[in-house]
Amino acid sequence: MKFLFVEDEVELVELYQYMFDRIGLDYEVAYNGEEALEKVKNEKFDYIFSDIRMPKMNGIDFLKNLILEGLDFKKFIFVTAHQEVSLDEVKELGAHDILYKPIRHQVFMDYIQDLQA
């Protein structure tokens, strides 16, 4: 299984990389939706985690482009600090779930490991 994490906050990306390297996760990172879309066009990712508010292309537009272009993935999960976005709203867009920042590290790792089970 391969994961893609799309996040524009460099500190969070570094934390993710530290956590994921410790468990041997097969993953890549992108810093905005535009970069992430190019990665998905060139590689197969099973699970995509994406922030919503990012420069160049936000997470919602990224998801819309994935679907519009027929790019394949198992699950798309939004990770955001913006509590005003609901699970129902993201499901209507085609996402499978939403996680709200701040996320305790162990909760996030458990979520990822549950996907691998």
In tens, the pLDDT along 9-54 reads 999 999 999 999 999 999 999 999 999 999 999 999 999 999 999 9
CA distances from 33 to 53, 57, 85 (A): 9, 5, 18
Q: Rounded distance, CA 101 to CA 89, Å?
A: 17
Q: What percent of the chain has pLDDT over 70?
A: 100
Contacting residues for 114 by C-beta, under 8 A, at least 6 apart: none
